Amino acid sequence: MGAVRFGAAGALHRGGEAPAGTPEYLMPEIPDTWMQYIVGTEKLEAMQADFAADLEHAATRARQWQQRLREAEPLPASLPPWAPGPDTQP
Amino acid sequence: MKTALHQWGVAEALSQLHARTVSAEELAQALLDRAERIDGQVHAYLWRDPAQVLRDARAADQRRRRGDADDLPPLLGVPLAIKDVMPVRGMPTSYHSRWASPESAPEDAACVARLRATGAILLGKLSTHEFAIGGPTQDLPYPAARNPWKLTHHPGGSSSGAAAGLAAALFPAAIGTDTGGSVRGPADACGVLGLKPTHGDIPMRGIRPLTYTLDQVGPMTRTARDLPLILAALSGRPMAISWREDLRGLRVGYLRHFHTEDVAADPEIAAALDTAAQDLRSLGADVREVRLPALPYCMAITGVVASVEAWLAHRDGLRDAPRKYTGRSRRRLAIGAFLSGADYLDAQRRRQALKADVDALLADCDLLLAASSLRPACRIDDDAAIDASYPFEARSPFSATGHPALNLPIGFTASGLPIGAQFIGRYRGEAGLIASAETYLQARWQSRYPLFPADT
């Protein structure tokens, strides 16, 4: 099975490179396999029309948030991730 | 003027039950009758079993007759309703989804068990956004809740039925869940109070997670006086509130930049927030502007954490039966598929830094004042407006940081839709938030109810 990518108009494309005009945010970091993972390879044909719009919407939002965090001030290297502390345990 | 029985809050209902001027059965029957008359327009309920409710109410009445008044459970006979993402023994749990199972839950979620132990009467299960993340769409298996102030409009979500039913006076209190603002958002849209307590204070056991580190259970009421009664039952800890006549000595940090510089609020909402700040000053509070990182950055932290965790919670379902979800749920749940492990950990580190920023502000302030929604409720049939509304809120930063945050009503738009604001406090600082809200509401707020044809 060939690669699966979004096109600029929201359609899914198989194989080869994304068509000219594909927004940058949709190109480099969408794994070729994510769509197959979501719906299962065998269901892909039936699902792609429905899911193209939903997933492009999701990808756009993810990319916006990713960008905001990546463009933010770096954090001190020693700062650990948030974790529930003893005062926040249910 | 005498308050109608269906308009009683929790404290008023308890007072009348104690005085035996009304029985739990009469109170429950009145609310069931009201739901019968009105809920066909509001769609707050997804499920209720009047016969069981009345059996429970009669049992509460018997217990009150038999028992020593000092030894009765604290909420004996008080009717409440539960968002339909929390299992309640004997009732089905639908999540407002086609994934619903018709089978009744074999046991209560931990927080529901606590309410039951306090003697509350559980009226039924309430409308939600699908799995507490979707939204009002045409492809829902049951009708979406409507905003009682304008039935053509969105009641907010995801605890939509809880807020809509409270505003319509179908019950005196409801229990919602809040991951990124799902108690506070609908409370804002429907003009009621909704509290996201300190992270971890109320057990989530028994509730299917939407996310693993953000989900919280929260009480919703029409008055501040009612909140500690429900919160104490949910948390299992008594609450001592120092009610106050004024706000002299209270230090309030006003996060005005959220809605003036970072994301422009609707002008009516911005004006209402400035008026609320001025009202707090006139009650004696020292209100000054304070700053956090820009709102879109804070929202991105919560967005990344919530999306990755929600994707993990639902990826098998999306893979196996994507058509069982509504389109809006698919769009929102799939966001996490596009984020990496590094994105998630980066967001969790930034979450830690943001928590420290809020703690630092609260070292010098007793509470923070911030916007809740930045736009009034939109039409419920306007999909584009609903999709566009998600970034126009200031609640999610405090979902990330875990601080208690309370939505309270502060006004109405010219078109008659509610406007809310948030008070944010220190960890375990709910008592101060509630007391300050009560002082403000007593001075500046008059209870209003939407009118239904059945009321006239």
Is residue B355 part of the annotated active site? The answer reads no
Q: Give the confidence band of B448 by pLDDT, cuts at 50, 70, 90.
A: confident
By DSSP bridging, strand A12-14 and strand A4-6 are antiparallel
Residue extents of the structural domains in chain B: 5-455
| CA atoms of B87 and B113, how far apart (whole Å) | 10
Asked about B373 being catalytic, the answer comes back as no
The DSSP output letter for B391 is T
Count Cβ neighbours within 10 Å for each residue of B403-417 and write b for 16 or more, e otherwise: bbbbbbbbbbbeeeb
Give the SS3 label for residue B321: coil
Positive or negative torsion for Cα B255, B261, B263, B267:
positive
Catalytic residue among B127, B160, B182, B235: B182
Across the interface, which of A57, A62, A79 has its CB nearest the CB of B353? A79
- pLDDT at position B163, please? 98
Q: Tell me the whole-structure pTM to 2 decimals.
A: 0.92
Both tokens assigned to B429: 């600082």
Q: Name the DSSP class of B330.
A: H
Flag whether pLDDT at A19 surpasses 70: no
Nearest in space to B157 (alpha carbons), one of B275, B37, B326, B276: B326
The token pair that represents B380 in the structure block: 């419920």
User: In the predicted model, is pLDDT for residue B302 greater than 80?
Assistant: yes
pLDDT category of residue B137 using cuts at 50, 70 and 90: confident
> pLDDT at residue B58 above 60?
yes
The SS3 of residue A55 is helix
Alpha carbon distance A13, A4 (integer Å): 6
- Residues of chain A in contact with residue B200, where contact means CB-CB under 8 angstroms, are 84, 87-90
Catalytic residue among B94, B97, B158, B373: B158
| pLDDT given for residue A32 in this prediction | 43
Nearest to B53 by CA among B124, B125, B126: B124
ipTM of the complex: 0.90
**In the CATH hierarchy, which fold is given to the domain comprising B5-455?**
Amidase signature (AS) enzymes (3.90.1300)
Q: Are strands B121-126 and B45-48 parallel, antiparallel or unpaired?
A: antiparallel
Q: What is the mean pLDDT of residues A73-81?
A: 92
Average pLDDT, chain B: 95
Q: Does A51 touch chain B (CB under 8 A)?
A: yes
**A26: CB partners within 8 A, 6+ apart:** A5, A6, A8, A18, A56, A59, A60, A63
Summarize the confidence of residues B27-42 as an average pLDDT.
97
| Cβ–Cβ below 8 Å for B319 and A79 | no
Among A29-33, B1-5, B281-285, name the most confident range.
Answer: B281-285
